[in-house]
Structure 1
Amino acid sequence: MGQFLYSFLFHLAELLLPIPALFNKKLRLFVKGRKPVFKQLMHFRATYNDPVAWFHCASLGEFEQARPVLEEFKKRYPDYKIVLTFFSPSGYEVRKDYDKADLITYLPIDTWQNAKKFVDLLNPQVVFFVKYEFWYNYLKRVAQKNIPLFSFSTIFRKDQIYFKWYGAFFFRTLHCFDHFFVQNQESVEVLEEAKVYNFSKTGDTRFDRVEEICQQAKKLPLVEAFTEGHRTLVVGSSWPQDMVHIFPLINGGKTDLKFIIAPHNLKASEMKEIENQCAGKVIRYSKASEQNVSDAQVLIIDNFGMLSSVYRYGDFAYVGGAFGSGLHNILEAATYGLPIFFGRSAKNRKFQEATDMLAREAAFDFERSEEFAEKFAALYNDEDQYQQAADRSRRYVEENLGVTAQILDFCEAYIK
């Protein structure tokens, strides 16, 4: 009954989604992007007869977790072709030109017909699904064909449907996997309680990724000229809900403190609002020069792709998103040993790194502007306390490196 209802709902979704897609850009990309998938697969297989490793990600965040494993896999097994699929347009549209994969496409909706056709056409030799992706029909077909199937950077919680009394059908999807590489102790305990034992606690592959980014960070002379001789708070991926708490600090009279702000959305209205709310001189990176940047108090990064390199010039980091859709990547700041601040939200518990860094007092959360100001001042005014938090931040990253190698060393026995 469960399988019938599951398949019926996905068939219905496949039929009906083109209607709301007429009025929604993201849905339109979701529907349109899936139309050529099977033609792409047939062309791919007509071109290459090589063994295939298939990596599947929900979206952009999961891609960042997949990336170190995918790239290391390519180094270890150069004879393999890499196929990368996404569920969401927010992942596919950003990474559709990623040069380390041989084919990048959408994953068709999870009907049995789509899953069987997709897996049979692609005929992969090994499959990796990232974090939360558990599509029953695809997993069932991969398991039926005895293709090695792994999930990594995975997190399980007791409140997930797989472990509810009514979730027996969804729980069956877990039995399709050869092995889970989970992030945390809670996942271990949940799986053991459910009598699932084919797992290892390895951690999150993003640690390897952010360390690689750190080692390859670009030198930014304009940012260096801006920060020289001043302590700096880097505000990464900020939303208007975050800036409400930042403006009082900017206008609080700390002459030794500068601010680099990288908005999540580069809307003209948001950048203009930042400029209007700041009492001191504000300059956008696109208009900065070494002559006019040094006396500014606030530097706005008005482009994408720089933030991970900007953190190297900071002394503190504020990472946005917690008051909205979800906390953005705090590991990019942690890898440079920055104490980190972010909003307090129930959603944060889904991010293991946030939980860990709060427990270590390498990161600090808050609800009100006054609470943020108090916690920031404690580090700003006490060099010893600041240094302890910075050391804990960097040490947290160092202690969690090497996950990629653990995963691929384990999988070696399954790869022909």
Structure 2
Amino acid sequence: MTWFYQLFIYFYSFGAHLAALFSPKARRWVSGRKQLVARIKREVVTSQPIVWFHCASLGEFEQGRPVIEALKNEFPAIKILLTFFSPSGYEVRKNYDQAEWVYYLPIDTKKNARELVEHLHPALVVFVKYEFWFNYIDAIYLKKVPMVFLSVIFRPSQHFFQWWGGWFRKRLHKITFFFVQDELSAKLLKKAGIHQVEVAGDTRFDRVMALSEKVRKFPQIELFKQNATLIAGGSTWPVDEDLLLEVLKNTSRDVKLLLAPHLVDDNHIVSIQKKFSAFNPVLFTNMSDVIDENSRVLVVNTIGFLSQLYPYTDLAYIGGGFGVGIHNLPEAAAYGIPVVFGPNHLRFKEAIDLKNIGGGYAISSEKEGVEVISNLLNNDNERKTAGEIAQNYIRQHTGATSKVVKKAGVFLS
């Protein structure tokens, strides 16, 4: 199986280089890794203990972030190295001020893993959620460096727990400690003979609750909203935007849309403006003290503001559920608004929980989405009750960060 994994890594890298000929995102993925190990070895020089955090992308970063900041507060001497797999995370957070160094993760070859771990010799390595890179795991284990995975969710269908998954399970045994989100994950690990595990929950909840208590005022948003009911479209893709367009077509002028697309490149923003042209869309970056009274769509054409704008909204449709998987539900739910999301949500515990307790609504088609959102718009009591349920759920599931920091303290002391 080892040779198969090495072959997979080779072909993954080859495929990325091929895709780079056509895709700007793949091009950034490739160019960001050129001579990367040599660059890290040249730039990362310190006598202070290094804590290395690795995240796949932006969503995982939001899970790691509260732990990074709590560790920096608890252990001021440590230096943070932050790596990302995806350009979506790296490009947005490459200037994150709580990390001394931010890079892409060099491709997971045996040589890269060995050289990087030997040079860094970190005091602790933290992988967030699903980032199982087995050459890195082997190299970290061989150097006897404590290695923690946080906010993990395991499912019985994963390769780790199949009859043929022995090679993968063996790597899990090399990990020092797991912080998982639910009891099922802990049971799966223990059944596989892995007992270094604690059910801590999702560290992201601590972050979003803290944000929800620091509301920032945006007078232009108040001017745009006025007395309307405002829908948030969070991290939307084109299929989500089509659905929200149908919602606007089927509602009155008293309903407006704050749209924050997942992709904010110029081409996509222009396509959104054309799609919603009948509703006089205005761009967030162009807002002034005078708003067209006929405008019913505000397009957030920049990254980093959505979480601060949720307080102005009355319900949220979270994108990704008809494609790659839903994006950040807790960020919206923390503000006491109900969340609506598509069918690809089964890997997200919070989505399943919110659906079951009445704080979230799962939809399977555009038609159903229009019906569900329209019903919430027309039923103030149901909408407010669902929002309260969602917010209480987030509040009741905070505390994961302190559990992780306590355990990390054992490794760092």
**Same fold, TM exceeding 0.5?**
yes
Matches of 1:217 and 1:315, distance apart in 2: 15
Q: Which residue matches 1:382?
A: 379
Q: Which residue matches 1:271?
A: 272
Say which of 395, 402, 411 aligns to 2:399.
402
- Is the 1:140–1:176 contact (alpha carbons within 8 Å) kept by the matching residues of 2? yes
Residues 257-299 of structure 1: CA distance to partner in whole angstroms, max 9, x if unpaired? 22222223332442223333x3x44433344333334553332
Q: Which residue matches 2:123?
A: 125
Matches of 1:298 and 1:28, distance apart in 2: 32
Letter matched to residue 379 of structure 1: L
Q: Which residue matches 1:310?
A: 309
State, as a whole percentage, how many aligned pairs show the same letter.
36
State the shift of 1:359 in Å. Answer: 0.8
Q: Which residue matches 1:411?
A: 408
Matches of 1:406 and 1:152, distance apart in 2: 10
Q: Which residue matches 2:359?
A: 362
State the shift of 1:380 in Å. Answer: 3.1
Distance change >3 Å, CA 411–CA 304, structure 1 → 2: closer
- Is the 2:273–2:281 contact (alpha carbons within 8 Å) kept by the matching residues of 1? no
Letter matched to residue 135 of structure 1: W
Matches of 1:187 and 1:367, distance apart in 2: 27
Give the TM-score taking structure 1 as reference length.
0.91
State the shift of 1:125 in Å. Answer: 0.8
Letter matched to residue 156 of structure 1: F
Q: Which residue matches 1:297?
A: 296
Q: Which residue matches 2:88?
A: 90
Matches of 1:363 and 1:60, distance apart in 2: 22
- Is the 2:247–2:374 contact (alpha carbons within 8 Å) kept by the matching residues of 1? no
State the shift of 1:124 in Å. Answer: 0.5
Matches of 1:415 and 1:93, distance apart in 2: 30
Task: Flag structure 1 segments of 5+ consecutive residues without an equivalent.
Answer: none
State the shift of 1:253 in Å. Answer: 4.3
- Is the 1:225–1:293 contact (alpha carbons within 8 Å) kept by the matching residues of 2? no
Match runs of 1:220-369 below 5 Å: 220-266=218-264, 267-276=268-277, 278=278, 280-294=279-293, 296-343=295-342, 345=343, 347-369=344-366
Letter matched to residue 404 of structure 2: I
Distance change >3 Å, CA 111–CA 287, structure 1 → 2: closer
Give the TM-score taking structure 2 as reference length.
0.92
Matches of 2:254 and 2:21, distance apart in 1: 52
Matches of 2:280 and 2:56, distance apart in 1: 41
State the shift of 1:16 in Å. Answer: 7.6
Match runs of 1:184-203 below 5 Å: 184-203=182-201
Moved more, 377-386 or 334-343: 377-386
- Is the 2:37–2:112 contact (alpha carbons within 8 Å) kept by the matching residues of 1? no
Say which of 34, 54, 57 aligns to 1:56.
54
Say which of 72, 75, 78 aligns to 2:73.
75
State the shift of 1:18 in Å. Answer: 4.5
Matches of 1:8 and 1:262, distance apart in 2: 39
State the shift of 1:360 in Å. Answer: 1.2
Q: Which residue matches 2:107?
A: 109
Letter matched to residue 65 of structure 1: Q
Moved more, 398-407 or 384-393: 384-393
Matches of 1:139 and 1:342, distance apart in 2: 34
Matches of 1:359 and 1:140, distance apart in 2: 40
- Is the 1:339–1:390 contact (alpha carbons within 8 Å) kept by the matching residues of 2? yes
1:392 aligns with 2:389: yes
- Is the 2:283–2:298 contact (alpha carbons within 8 Å) kept by the matching residues of 1? yes
Matches of 2:328 and 2:100, distance apart in 1: 27
- Is the 2:247–2:373 contact (alpha carbons within 8 Å) kept by the matching residues of 1? no
Task: Flag structure 2 segments of 5+ consecutive residues without an equivalent.
Answer: none
State the shift of 1:13 in Å. Answer: 5.4
Matches of 1:370 and 1:34, distance apart in 2: 43
Say which SS state the counterpart of residue 397 (structure 1) adopts.
helix
Matches of 1:248 and 1:12, distance apart in 2: 42
Q: Which residue matches 2:204?
A: 206
State the shift of 1:69 in Å. Answer: 0.7
- Is the 2:337–2:390 contact (alpha carbons within 8 Å) kept by the matching residues of 1? yes
Q: How many residues end up aligned between the 2 structures?
A: 410
Residues 106-156 of structure 1: CA distance to partner in whole angstroms, max 9, x if unpaired? 222222222111101001011111111112221122122221110001111
- Is the 1:226–1:295 contact (alpha carbons within 8 Å) kept by the matching residues of 2? no
Distance change >3 Å, CA 119–CA 237, structure 1 → 2: same
Say which of 150, 155, 158 aligns to 2:156.
158
Matches of 1:240 and 1:20, distance apart in 2: 21
State the shift of 1:11 in Å. Answer: 4.9
State the shift of 1:315 in Å. Answer: 1.0
